[in-house]
Amino acid sequence: MTIASNAAPRPEPSPLRRNRDFNVFWLGQALSVLGGSISLLALPLLVLEATGSVVQMGILTVISGATGIGTGMFAGYVVDRVDRRRLMIVCDLTRAVLLGVVPFVWWAAGPKIWLLYVLTALTAVLRTLFDVAYVTAVPRLVRTEDLTAANGRLMGTFALGTLLGPVAAGLLAASVGANWALAVDGATFLVSAASLGWVRFTRAADGDPADRAGAKRAAGSGTGVLREVFVVGFRFLWTHPLLRPLTVLLTLLTFVTMGATDLLIYRIRHDLGRDAATLGYVIAVSGIGAIAAAAAAGALRRIFGFGTCWLASVAMIGAGIVVTGVSSSVPVIAVLAAVFMFGITLAGVSSMTLRQQVTPDHLLGRVTSAFWTVHNASGPVGAAVLTVLAARHGVPAVSLACGAFCLLILGAGLLSPLRGRRGGDPSASGTASGKPVAGSPADPADRAPAVEPEPPCRPRP
């Protein structure tokens, strides 16, 4: 099944406010994100209830992370080869069944810890496939000039869901049990699948005939398939003049940011001796920063361009890590945690929009998958290093070192093509009209070569 079978051709999408398809998609995903946030707390609670072991909870986290990274290696290939809307619906329906069966197993046979491990692995695979397809779907729903605003809405919804989800999970676990909280999450996936059934995606360009022929030859060759899965997305990232420095710098930044939450928790609970309620207050305030960034991302991108927004985000992230690590004032820590989350969210919206704008549709799944795999791989390593150093040298010292590291990343960014008021912004490079110009990010000369190296690739139209 080819990507082109997603939907029949239809006119250019309406402006975002009157875009029925995007709004249905957005509302369906809002409920799904809330449900997913419920599971983030309900699953560890079930493990703790069944085993009483924090080690078993850690194993669950490792299974989820490792399976997600492993799936990310091939998720883009799958997304670029099938009908994306149908793939997302199948992922939603399958997750609904998997989560919905847990309370009945608990009722009939009692707690089964092995079931949670299997459930975690399967849902991680489905979540990764869905998330890659989700990113590639947005450009099919909105106009190019609305991409940043659309991604901002989706990111804001995610931030709000991650705030409300744990609260809802706690209430459900206290009233009906953590196993039934998972079933509620399953029901939200049914709503998501139903909403996707109402959404129409625009048809993407068919792409260069040489690319389609190369893909067919690759499908019949084991080596070709391996190239399709592992090489094409990475090669596009490395050969693109904007995505290459962005990928490298974001990989370095992720090394610091994934462990920043652990440093914050340790600082408040251990160093300052505050209770869990205070920690919850700080995290809630930080969520406000994420929501504010999601709402403002579209306007900021239009005014300042991609380069300025992304590099400013790095500065905000560094400042947030430093102040939350050295300050002894909880209100100050809460405000700078919000600044940190504002930077993280603005950077995420900006980078995702850039990839959607400069990547050909038939490569978007593999490029997204490769991008996530590369920069997320440094996160667990960074988290382990930062927490070990914090235990030995204290959070303030490690936070200052992280701030200096962010400063170096910012300096490297200023020396890269990302610099400048409009650095890296396709809308300022001749693509706003949909017609790329020479030297712009969407210039065919900057795109990845065809899958097959021979005959020599031709520029895509």
Per run of 10 residues, the mean pLDDT along the chain (length 461 residues) is 42 73 86 75 74 65 75 83 90 92 86 85 90 85 83 79 68 77 87 89 52 42 54 86 92 87 81 76 82 86 89 95 94 94 90 86 84 78 82 91 95 87 45 35 31 27 24
What distance in Å separates the CA atoms of residue 225 and residue 64, rounded to the nearest whole number?
26
Q: 1 by DSSP, 3-state: which?
A: coil
Quote the pLDDT of residue 455: 28
Quote the pLDDT of residue 138: 86
Determine the angle formed by the axes of helices 178-197 and 102-109, rounding to 10 degrees.
150
Contact 239, 363 (CB under 8 A): no
What distance in Å separates the CA atoms of residue 149 and residue 146, rounded to the nearest whole number?
5
Contact 420, 428 (CB under 8 A): no
Name the residue among 320, 179, 203 with its Cα closest to residue 257. 320
Handedness of CA 134, 140, 143, 144 (dihedral sign): positive
What are the domain boundaries of the chain? 15-201, 234-427+438-446
What distance in Å separates the CA atoms of residue 112 and residue 101, rounded to the nearest whole number?
12
Q: What would be the CATH architecture of the domain defined by 234-427+438-446?
A: Up-down Bundle (1.20)
Quote the pLDDT of residue 166: 62
Q: Same fold for the domain at 15-201 and the one at 234-427+438-446? A: yes
What distance in Å separates the CA atoms of residue 188 and residue 166, rounded to the nearest whole number?
15
Quote the pLDDT of residue 449: 28
Amino acid occupying residue 197? G
Quote the pLDDT of residue 50: 76
Residue range 15-201, CATH number = 1.20.1250.20
**CB proximity list for 93: less than 8 A, separation 6 or greater:** 189, 190, 193
